[in-house]
């Protein structure tokens, strides 16, 4: 009696299941790209912070002393 693997009553259910799987895979791809972008931003910010921490800052009064010597 069954002409195929599935009966015609099951086709809308399979279409709905395929649609749900498509939506879930799309949302997983979007979330993976978001996580990757956030990791890149974090690495970039860490590099900026590391450069600022390692940079030697000169005090403003030292530049004033250099200006006083020139006069």
Confidence of residue 25 (pLDDT cuts 50, 70, 90): very high
Report the C-alpha gap between 45 and 52 in whole angstroms. Answer: 11
Contact 24, 16 (CB under 8 A): no
Confidence of residue 39 (pLDDT cuts 50, 70, 90): very high
The model's confidence at residue 53, banded by pLDDT at 50, 70 and 90, is confident
**How many Å apart are CA 27 and CA 33, to the nearest integer?**
10
Residue 12 — pLDDT band, cuts 50, 70, 90?
confident
Say how far apart CA 10 and CA 69 lie, in whole Å.
91
Mean pLDDT of 43-61: 79
The contacts of residue 6 (CB under 8 Å, 6+ apart) are: 14
Please state, in angstroms and rounded to a whole number, the distance separating the CA atoms of residues 38 and 35. 5
């Amino acid at each position: 009696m069954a002409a195929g693997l599935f009966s015609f009553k099951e086709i809308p259910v399979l279409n709905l299941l395929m649609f749900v799987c498509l939506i879930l895979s799309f949302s997983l791809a979007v979330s993976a790209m978001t996580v990757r972008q956030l990791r890149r931003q974090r690495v970039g910010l860490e590099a900026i912070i590391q450069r600022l921490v390692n940079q030697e800052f000169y005090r403003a009064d030292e530049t004033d002393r250099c200006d006083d010597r020139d006069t």
